[in-house]
């Protein structure tokens, strides 16, 4: 219905604002470390769900012991079922891993790539559902191939093809295939031109943005490696010079 579609579009808008804000706070003048950002988002999300959403859903009438979501019933189920407890803990761990890698993708590349790669999540879920239905549970769990699956397959092909074009892996005939990133074009996204993982840049972008915060780590490691090489060379020179002096003295 219209309400469901509107909520979905609103959620997509909020998600895009979140991706953009994550990139901004991790690449501004005062850069927030990605792990700090992940922790803050986790604490705020847990607080909102526990202190706001759960009480609201408890007050809304529903079929969960008189409420739309009954927290007491949830606690009882977790306490009495090791399977429910284990799957819940596993879900929390997997969500943490997903959010951690998502923020790191934004940190090392850009929020655009975060959004692009995030679209492959429903594709993976669909593939797992088909595998469960036909290969593992033999129709008990998962999703069968139905009328809408053909349209889903077409959407998957378009998604993969669009990602390959955006990445530059596929050149479209009749369209200039010069990379805007590697030619230092001002038309390229400042976020992408900052990314050392894409451009291997070590300086501010031509669009006026600062270099990626990941660059500082690369430069620090390179400087440390250079100092180690110089120290090793000095030690080798000293060890080689001592026997030569002894030979001359004899």
Tokens in use for 9?
């579009």
**What pLDDT, on the 0 to 100 scale, is given for residue 85?**
93
Closest CA to 111 of 223, 220, 24: 24
How many residues can be counted in the chain?
A: 250
Q: At 173, give phi and psi (nearest 5°).
A: -60, 140
Q: Do 216 and 195 contact (CB within 8 A), yes or no?
A: no
Per-residue pLDDT of the chain (250 residues; tens, 9 = 90+): 788 889 989 988 988 888 888 888 877 666 778 888 888 888 998 899 889 988 998 898 888 888 888 888 888 998 999 999 999 999 999 988 988 888 888 887 777 778 888 878 888 888 899 999 998 888 888 889 888 888 888 988 888 888 777 766 777 777 665 555 555 555 455 445 555 445 444 444 444 444 444 445 455 555 666 777 677 767 766 666 555 555 555 5
DSSP string across 143-187: ----HHHHHHHHHHHHHHHHHHHHHTSSPPTTS----TTTTT-TT
Closest CA to 126 of 96, 110, 148, 107: 148
What gap in Å lies between CA 195 and CA 207, rounded to an integer? Answer: 13
Exposed (0-12), middle (13-18) or buried (19+): which is 204, by Cβ within 10 Å?
middle
What gap in Å lies between CA 136 and CA 52, rounded to an integer? Answer: 39
| Cα–Cα–Cα angle for 187, 13, 1, rounded to 5 degrees | 135
Question: Tens digits of per-residue pLDDT, 155-188?
Answer: 888 888 887 777 667 777 776 655 555 555 554 5
What gap in Å lies between CA 50 and CA 42, rounded to an integer? Answer: 12
pLDDT above 70 as % of the chain: 70
What gap in Å lies between CA 104 and CA 110, rounded to an integer? Answer: 9
């Amino acid at each position: 219905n219209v309400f469901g579609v509107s909520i979905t579009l609103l959620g997509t808008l909020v998600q895009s604002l979140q991706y953009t804000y994550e990139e901004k706070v991790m690449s501004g003048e005062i850069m927030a470390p990605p792990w700090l950002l992940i922790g803050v988002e986790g604490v705020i999300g847990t607080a909102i769900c526990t202190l706001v959403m759960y009480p609201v859903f408890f007050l809304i009438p529903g079929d969960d012991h008189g409420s739309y979501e009954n927290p007491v019933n949830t606690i009882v189920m977790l306490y009495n079922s090791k399977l429910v407890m284990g799957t819940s803990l596993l879900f929390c761990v997997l969500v943490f891993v997903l959010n951690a890698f998502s923020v790191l993708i934004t940190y090392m590349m850009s929020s655009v790539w975060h959004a692009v790669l995030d679209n492959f999540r429903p594709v993976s879920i669909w593939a797992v559902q088909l595998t469960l239905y036909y290969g593992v549970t033999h129709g008990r769990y998962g999703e069968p191939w139905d009328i809408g699956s053909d349209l889903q397959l077409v959407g998957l092909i378009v998604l993969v093809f669009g990602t390959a074009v955006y990445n530059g892996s596929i050149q479209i005939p009749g369209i200039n295939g010069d990379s805007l990133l590697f030619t230092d074009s001002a038309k390229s996204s400042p976020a992408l031109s900052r990314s050392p993982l894409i451009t291997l840049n070590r300086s501010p972008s031509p669009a006026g943005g600062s270099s990626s915060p990941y660059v500082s780590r690369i430069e620090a490691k390179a400087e440390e490696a250079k100092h180690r090489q110089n120290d090793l060379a000095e030690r080798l020179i000293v060890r080689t010079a001592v026997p030569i002096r002894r030979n001359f003295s004899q």
